[in-house]
Amino acid sequence: MPEALPLSLAPVVILACGNPSRGDDALGPLLLDRLQEWLDAAGLAEGFELISDFQWQIEHALDLMGRRLALFIDAGMQTPAPLRFGAVPAIDAAIPGTHALSPTAVLAVLPRIAQPAPPAFVLCVSGQHFELGDGLSAVAIRHADCAFELLQALCRSPWIDAWQASISGD
């Protein structure tokens, strides 16, 4: 059984993944950095914990414990422009490995350690170029601006009903 959570746990956790050295794959970490600055300036930072990593791993399930809401941010090659925002279920299925998990797979870890999964959402931002050494493409910069507007709206209303009302179609 995991140890007790600290009393000061932020109710909302936002996890972003991506490699800053791989072009548009940097969208997640860059959006998270920008969001942290905005949350600090807006006086909202204590309601959120922001976590960035190259990929989601089984250990990130521990970051979800005791949260009211969770948001996963990533860049996607096949994502409709400029972004896709939707709920993600915790499906109890076999976890294919311990590295590079999907948000669904990370959420599925929680029932295995006797913890409820928080309502969770995915923000996937459309990217085009993911080559090692590339910077962000001009298109990705525009998509990041759209994603940041959505992030600001979500953080102003960090409640499941508000987030469900923001779900985009494919």
Residue 146: inside a domain: yes
What are phi and psi for residue 86, nearest 5 degrees? Answer: -160, 170
- Identify whether 3 is part of a domain: no
CATH label of the domain that carries residue 149: 3.40.50.1450
Strand partners, 70: 13, 120
pLDDT of 170 above 60: no
Least confident of 31-40, 66-75, 95-104: 95-104
Check residue 114 and report its DSSP letter.
Answer: T
Q: What span, in angstroms and rounded, lies between the C-alpha atoms of 114 and 91? A: 14
pLDDT higher than 90, residue 7: no
For the chain, the domain total comes to: 1
Threshold 0.85, pTM exceeds: yes
Q: How far apart are alpha carbons 168 and 135 in whole angstroms?
A: 27
The length of the chain is 170
Decide if pLDDT at 6 tops 70: no
* Residue 169 clears pLDDT 70, i.e. is over it: no
Establish whether the linkage from the previous residue to 96 is cis, with ω within 30° of 0: no
Q: If you average pLDDT over residues 76-82, what whole number do you get?
A: 93
pLDDT computed for residue 118 by the predictor: 95
Lowest mean pLDDT among 26-40, 80-94, 122-136: 80-94
Does 7 map to a domain? no
Residue 6 lies in a domain: no
Q: Is there a domain that residue 4 lies in?
A: no
For the stretch 96-144, pLDDT in tens is 665 678 999 999 999 889 899 999 999 999 999 999 999 999 999 999 9
| Domain that includes residue 48, residue range | 12-165
Look at residue 50 and tell me if it is in a domain. Answer: yes
Q: What is the pLDDT of residue 56?
A: 93
Instruction: Tell me: pLDDT of 2 over 70.
Output: no
Does residue 2 lie in a domain region? Answer: no
